[in-house]
Amino acid sequence: MTYNTYENIWGALPFPAFVLGSDCKILHVNASAEQLIATSQKQMISKDIANFFHENSILVSTVKQAIKDTGSVTQYNIDVAVVGKPLICGNVYVSFLNPTQTELLMVVQPTGVAQKMSQSLTNLSAARSVTAMAAMLAHEIRNPLAGISGAAQLLAMNAKGEDIELAEMIEQEAKRIGQLVDRVEHFGDQRPMEAKPVNIHDILDRAQRAAMAGYAADVSFSVEYDPSLPDASGDADQLLQVFQNLIKNAAEAVSKNRGVIKLRTSYNSGVKLAMQGNRTQNLPLLIEVIDNGIGIPELLIGEVFDPFVTSKSNGTGLGLPLVSKIIAAHGGLVECASTTGKTVFSVRLPVWRAKKEFG
């Protein structure tokens, strides 16, 4: 392979990238890689990758695994340990460059997505603190609310003229608070998840049907299912809630009549999430909810999974935190990417195994 043709692309890549031989020796690096390692390409060529990254690091074992499996491997959220440098966090993608599997491309993504990942993990703790508050609030609000709404009904019965309208307004608004409390309480639901085999396509079909009967009546749907997708490991009701929330947001973001929501599934064997205690969880199931709407407001993009973040006048900001909470409880990942006209929510889930397997 000659690099001349692609030299400009290669040089412009914003992430450190390495071309390696199947013996883990470095064949070529780009400028970002030189920066990451603080060594020139000349000094790196023909040396083993383990000279520059800690030999026992997940990064080196990822490369070795890709060579062993002769397939591509993605590791999210791992420590990138450059020899002699402070530890950084990042994602690593390794894939073969040629069909004879003699050359690999390794790309390290030290920030950006990695931050987003760790953010989606910390969302779990945010979700937990809200959960406790939600349970307390729901309990404390319900009783006085029942009193207010009962009193308003009595007032309405005896009122005259304008007062009838006012009394009805009290009752309506009390009802709205009641619905909000219901939703918050749902968020605070702490029942443990019971993992079972779940057919994701059934779930998506149910979510789509519910949407078409209600909030997404004017939206067209397109589906792109991988027919051989294995069952996910999870709780069907909770996963239904996840995709309903994502589809509802998509439906609310698209313009009337021209809105398209695409539901896509695929299998990606190389995606792993590093977990505590040096374990990794395989997350090969990818489910994407894609819409052609306005996109997530730039100011909110890093925060949409946080509780009470909303750009809608009647929004609760609880839809995505609930998604995040449920997916985290499944050991999965949820991410979003958005520009005007294209917003993608990607959910990654583990496959059902009769006996839970951690890779």
Ligand X SMILES: Nc1ncnc2c1ncn2[C@@H]1O[C@H](COP(=O)(O)OP(=O)(O)O)[C@@H](O)[C@H]1O
Closest CA to 196 of 84, 46, 354, 56: 354
32, 77, 292, 343: residue in contact with ligand X (rule CB under 6 A) = 343
CA distance 210 to 31: 51
Of 51 and 316, the one with the shorter C-beta distance to ligand X is 316
| Residues that bind Mg ion in the complex, under the rule CB under 5 A | 249, 319
> Which residue minimizes CB distance to ligand X?
319
Of 306-335, binders to ligand X (CB under 6 A) are 309-312, 315-320
Smallest distance from Mg ion to CB 284, Å = 27
CA distance 235 to 246: 17
Judged by beta carbon distances under 5 to 8 A according to partner kind, the member of ligand X, Mg ion, none in contact with residue 139 is none
Smallest distance from Mg ion to CB 311, Å = 10
> Which residue minimizes CB distance to Mg ion?
319
Quick one: residue 70, left, alpha or beta (phi over 0 = left, psi -120 to 50 = alpha)? left
CA distance 119 to 125: 10
150, 297, 302, 359: residue in contact with ligand X (rule CB under 6 A) = 297
Phi, psi of 299 (to 5 degrees): -65, -25
Give counts: helices (H), strands (E), the chain: 9, 14
Any contact of residue 130 with ligand X (CB under 6 A)?
no
Of 30 and 238, the one with the shorter C-beta distance to ligand X is 238
For residue 76, what is the DSSP state?
Answer: E
| Structure-block tokens of residue 38 | 């603080």
107, 174, 304, 328: residue in contact with ligand X (rule CB under 6 A) = 304
Smallest distance from Mg ion to CB 254, Å = 13
Any contact of residue 250 with ligand X (CB under 6 A)?
yes
End-to-end Cα distance, the chain: 34
Any contact of residue 260 with ligand X (CB under 6 A)?
no
Does residue 48 contact residue 27 with C-beta atoms inside 8 Å? no
Binding site for ligand X (CB under 6 A): 245, 249-250, 253, 291, 293-297, 300, 304, 309-312, 315-320, 343
